[in-house]
Structure 1
Amino acid sequence: MIAIDSLPKDLAGAAATAWRHVLDHHDAAALADLTGALEAHPAIAGALARVLACSPFVAGLIRRQPRLLAALLEDGLLQRSLQPGELQAELQQRLAEPGAELHPVLRRFRARHMLRIVWRDFCRDADTLETMQDTSALAEACITLAQAHLQQQLEARFGVPRGRRSGEAQQLIVIAMGKLGARELNVSSDIDLIFAYPESGETDGERRRISNTEFFTKLGQGLITALDQVTADGFVFRVDMRLRPYGESGSLALNFAALEEYYQDQGRDWERYALIKARPVSGSAAHGAELMAMLRPFVFRRYVDFGVIESLRSMKQMINSEVRRRGLQEDVKLGSGGIREVEFIAQCFQLIRGGRDLGLQQRELLRVLDECVELGCLPAAAVAELRAAYLFLRDSEHAIQGYQDQQTQALPADPQQRLALATVMGFADWDSYLVELAGHRERVTAHFRDLIAAPEDEHDDAEDELPPWGDDLDAEALAEVGYREPAASLERLQALQRSTRVATLQAEGQERLQQFMPRLLLACAEADNPDRALLRTLPFVTAVLRRSAYLALLLENPPALAELVLLCNASPWIAEQLERHPVLLDELLDRGSLYTAPDKALLATELRQQVARLQPGDLEAQMDALRYFKASQVLRVAASELVGRLPLMRVSDNLTWIAEVILEQVLAVAWTDISARFGQPQRDPDGYGFALFGYGKLGGIELSYASDLDLVFVYDADVQGVTDGERSIDNVKFYTRLGQRIIHILETRMAMGQLYDVDMRLRPSGASGLLVSSLKGFRSYQEDTAWTWEHQALVRARLVAGDPAVGAGVDAVRRDILCRARDEQALATEVVAMRERMRKELLPKKLPEGQEFDLKQSAGGIVDIEFMVQYAVLAWSHRVPELARWSDNIRILETLAGAGLVAQRESKALIEAYLAFRSVAHQLALQQLPGRVPGDEYREQRASVEAAWQRLFPAQDKPTEQQD
């Protein structure tokens, strides 16, 4: 009946002995059932011997209850995986049988399926994940059906518990914590539970009423007994309730309001850690989701929370002390490089970044590790090693526990159990297994140390060189480390020390500030201008005092502190962005990424991945994600420009690409939102039937850091058509609401500000016109009504997001308009008049004559070049249609030279002047200075522009700057 030849000698003997004990069973009929089943399945002879030898627990079950194995063979359950819900359906059927009693049914059910689970695991018919999921499903089925059975009994005595506020019937919500919450239960695990119910109130019994608290306490006590109590049939699962609020001294069941109040007022970091895997496994699904949403802000902070590392470090130190005290160094869970360290690595990132990166708000450890790769938290190679180690360690844990159904993770001392463990794990002997185990543990420890270990500089010689902070701080100490204006810097620091924000800090914040400030002072001292670096960085410190997790981030990452000081010292604009949005500190952790501005394709992919991790339909979360994306990507561009890695043309390209991918995503979000309410508009081709056209700097691919977006919305659909939703509206109204929603998403002020200011004044009829135009209406306006200055604006128009078919239609209109033959003299008069009007309105009236040059509006500046280009396109495109192809000034100037309409030297001079002016304008913006330079600068470039103006408009007066 059994095949022992493939087993090591000692295990073969154990298998033979176990089989003899089975054959000695007193129930001949049961034994006949078993032998008959085995004869019908001869292929399992080797598996039977392996399981009997490697699991005395399973051998004992078969010896006592031969029909268990016979039934599993007859049902085919040893040979296949279970379907979702199959366990629950089977248990429900058994409990419904006449005369069924809860406790015996649960225990026999558990014995049947633990035999199956251990068998399939030890024979490697099930992989690690299946074993964990089946064990978790077994626990979940037992909890759910035992609860339903017990609640029915209690309701017969006391009535249905009802909420005082809602009057609704109440159900107990059993929250599975830890491994059960993540469906990662091991084969002999206890289960950590918390009991909750939605509302206080009382039962509606006719004879006796009790409070909901009393009702659910009785239900919880009954459930624990049903699962945990050891009877003649054994037990189901050991139950641990110590993770509930107030631990063993707390109420067994709390209502949602009490739970929320506890975690808000008294919740500790270890409880955040514990709740990461929390999952409702019984009761109303809607109430379970409500409870999880209520607890989520406690677990996952909205900002990047590096403060949790110190807490995890402390927790790990406590565990290490306990390991040493109890001699658990050889424990595959708690020992060095064990399961707990892999869990700490994943859950550390969940607590640090889970509030912002929703993909980390998962319970399953391996999925979290995969998400860490997607987010760039961990290298793929590191995660591959952690995954392999975790699966090896969990398989080892199952082999250890399945031996005697004992809740232990300690490597065995008994030689025969060691051989059994090695055999289950696929090794010829114990020593071979230990070598593999040691390799996995070493790799886990190395990764764990990289993440959790204290920063290296906490113990180096620089510690003694840190400037003092507090009462010992003085100007002399600042001067000693390199400050050039120590008295002024000291005054600023003392103002911070005396501020109410510092005085009212809690103890944890005070402690972090005490640790942080000496390091900040030293980091600023290493800048080229220490006093300026400190001046620009202190507002950031003030802004994050009450969110000291940001200080923890910088303490944990000294290179990030160095980048913070470098960038703030280099640019007050960047310093202000970081002050307003400290969450951007996360970008400083990866220097390679910080100083690399991705191209448009990578930007689109990154944004798409970020939005894909959000809950569908959560408009607020999507708007938050868009704002973070923009702020982080613009920071990358600015940082790259400051260190000289991006020339001007690339800066504008990148800023424009950021806007374009955001607009495409905003359109998708707005479309989903509006069409969900009204259905989709009738239109012939696929696609939105809607396009966003960018004008001005956006259209000309010349965005700067603070540019607004000049947009025009055009649709192409039947104006008589309607949407196909239940709340149908006409097409015009649909596209109008779509445009309104786009503007709302772009302009609404949130925690991270606006996405962009939007200017719609260039649409047909300007501010008095319709928000969206039909393609037909757009053409009619441009052909019959538009002013010359509107045709000038059309030069810099191009499709930036939306339906390419609509874009092609608008572009055809644009080309037709630009390629019209015009009276060149009349056109020149209008262009020059418009330029004069603009100069009068926009050039500062008190600009000292000859002393300052306004880069945009002064004669010979940026706008003069733009007007000359626009004139050239309008005047000559009928002869050279290629001029109408481009929307950016550089390529138009190159085309003019190529067509012989402008001399090569003149085109080159205008391009050089244009790039020079825009480059210095970018640099001034980063320094938060107005776009003006001393009057004696750029004289050669200005002269070239003015000369070109005079050649192009010879009959016009030379433009003069408006003076006071």
Structure 2
Amino acid sequence: MTRIESQSVRLARLGFADAVRAAELVESWASAGTAEQIDAALAALTTVPDPDLALTGFHQLTEVRPGLLAESSADPQLLKRLAAVLGSSVALNQHLVAHPDDLQLLRGPLERRSAASWREELLGVVGADPSAVEPVAEADRSDDLRRGYHRAVLRIAARDLTSDDLLAVLSEIAAELADLADATVETALALARGEVPDWELCRLGIIALGKTGAGELNYVSDVDVLYIAEPRLDSNGEPVCDPAKAMAVATRLASALTRVCSAHTAAGTIWQIDAALRPEGKAGPLVRTLTSHRAYYEKWAKNWEFQAMLKARPMAGDRELAQSFVDMVWPMVWRVADNDQFVGEVQAMRRRVISLLPAREANHEIKLGAGGLRDVEFSVQLLQLVHGRADERLRLRGTFEALDALVEHGYVGRADGADLGTAYRLQRLLEHRIQLYRLRRTHLMPEDQVSQRWLARSIGLAQTNELMHLWRATTRRVLSLQQRLFYSPLLEAVARIPSAEVRLTSSEAETRLRALGYGDPTAALRHIEALSSGLSRQAEIQRQLLPAMLTWFTAGPNPDHGLLAFRKVSEELGGTPWYLRTLRDGDAMAEHLARILASSRYAVDLLLRAPQNAALLGDAEGLRPRPGAEILAGMRSAARRHEAPDAAVAAIRAARRSELLRLAMADLIGELDVPTLGRALSDVMAATIDAALEVATRGVKVPPIAVIAMGRWGGREISYASDADAMFALADSDDPDATGAAVTVISRLRALLAQPGPDPALSIDIDLRPEGKRGAMVRSLTSYRAYYGRWSATWEAQALLRAAPGAGDAELAATLLEAVAGVRYPAEGLTRAQVHEIRKLKARMEVERIPRGSDPSRNTKLGPGGLSDVEWVVQLLQLQHAAQLPRLQTTSTLDALAVAAEAGLVEAADAEALEAAWLLASRIRNAMMLLRGRPGDTLPSDVRELSAVAQMLGYAKGESSLLVEEHRRRARLARQVMDRLFWEPA
């Protein structure tokens, strides 16, 4: 084995990825130092994030600084810092190779330097007088500033990279970077003065915003600033020039300063100056006077602009003028949360940022991604702005210090605060390391293994796979804590704070609840106090739950109703061991319960009749629709435990209530689509009627009875508000009393299911039977055959299209449906007269059934393009073609529509329009029933109700108009299809 090969094996074991090249470089050092010096250098280089990068940089330095091996081995501290810098940053490698004398910066103490010290150094670098009130430098010295800036970054990075506790020192590093930014801008302004004639005519103050203003800057970041200028005054207090000229000079100064910081030259670059947070953004003047700023912020500024001013502080230039601006805007910042829309706007702004992230970057964004840095910063700022109105201890600019204050004064729990702070520091550390590598502005986690390896090593992780696991864990933790931060334990009614000095007054609590979206904060406060007062274990757990529950309530249409319902449910179940424990320890149950309680009176009414059904939310399978046979078996079992028919049917109805609640809750949390819900509700209806029919038959001698499901029940498309459209068939019998007995059973069945009680009534509508309301309640099989064979009308054939076995004797139902197959699927289709009759009936329905005075276009059932339009189009096609196309012989509207489209009876686009209109109308009707607890076919005219319905359908708050527009659009398209397929002459 050659010497190079032997050396490469050794270096591979030490962690060098390209061991052969590393061996060649090390071998070339033989004449530059001793073996001990080389080993010392290698020992240091193998400890850094990227040993290969460090080795390459070290080798390049040995070429331009021949004594480096001896120099570094004689100073272990220098070697450690040099290796750390070389192994962490390509950009600093390049800087050191270009300026090897800057190695001296890595010697001796590397304590944090003050802002004044950095200012003095950088001004000196460009030849400006640091002691001058308004230093001036020659314009051609800008490259000197860039080199001076990179020397400063090198020194800060060396201290950062060799710190014993990377997370602990991070806030200090970020603060020093902000100090360096101040000094850099001050020096750039000095250079701008050397470039801009007549600069003495104006006063220019520069305000830092964003992370710079907060004193926690990144290595590479846009530096957010705001400019304020005034004409300079003479000794008599008069402007030395025309104000317009002074502002023009100030604008040129600001532009020149920006150009100095942002330009790319052979000496490198610094960073971008960003003045986009100024009034009117990029469209507004770059520089304004104090009076102009005051007018803007008093009259036109939006909430987010005040939030941005939370971090405003004097930075450079005329600091007295800059401080005047801060003094002016600072009180306004702490009044912004008085706006009722503030919290919603902050939350919407955050959601908007996430929604705008490119899909390929969203899962790798440290800063803007879900659970990332911005979530922590927005949460902390929101708490500050809400609580800081009354508690001046929270009026701080930096996220680190503000979070510490929130924890110290009880607004955030210590464990939660520690978790959030650790997650934030770790994410900032990752951001720093990624940016430091090339000194480029980026917030993306690397995707390749090589980059992940050096990043993992840069934060002290031995295994690469630990990196992504740790980062993902922090984002999950941030997401879980983010909501709770909106409702801190300091709120007196939410949690009892040990120290009396940090309690909020009742009025402040009410103000905060109002700002967070509660319409009656006084009542909300009473509910919170009732839930959380006392020293019992129940109260302790409630105090833990309430912050998150309150958050989730405000995400629903009616947080006040949600909180009241939660109080009622908790009063019933609070002493039950599983209830609070499951809410506390089961993430899904608490959030889902809050969403349901704040959204649906229908579900709440069902739940309050039997609060123990809340346990359905704690079971992974609890909200899954149950098979009809399983539901029926349970209902029959419950009924058989009671001798009295009333008690037996009460048990059936109670079981039905549980199933309706199960489906409503699943629907509200988005686990059911319209077709699945319709089938599940139909199964519940069938099981209820079947089990109740068994009870109603007790003690009565009667032949087998079949319940034929009609209408939506037959199509398995029912909604929460649907009645049970049905026909009753009786098996043929020689018993002359059979029909009378059957009438008795059916009457008893309908009465038992319809009578008022604690559980929802079920009305059985038999108007679709032969001859309609004038016809017999029940007929024998022979009678049905005779009637449909000789006398049935066209509308009755149409009604039979959705006839299906519903309950009772399944064999009898199948026999009857087979007997009427020729009626509902006529072999020759429809005559012109029959088509005309159907059209006439449809027209009369539209005139007679839509409530007088209402807007037909808002009626989801009978209005243009509503459910009825879609269904009648499909049924007309079935009557005309189902005999020749057996697949059309289905009771499901959507299934029949799909078959018709596949067969070419309907254009694909038309079928899509009909289906979309039908689904949206169905969703709206179900949402209105869930919201109100009572049925409705018309889009609400009440703005609050309409907004609530829109939210339930997935629209954001304030987007109810989009729902109305979407309904009108889909209904219009469906009506156009109907006009072509239904109304136009065949």
TM-score by length of 1: 0.45
Larger radius of gyration: 2
TM-score by length of 2: 0.44
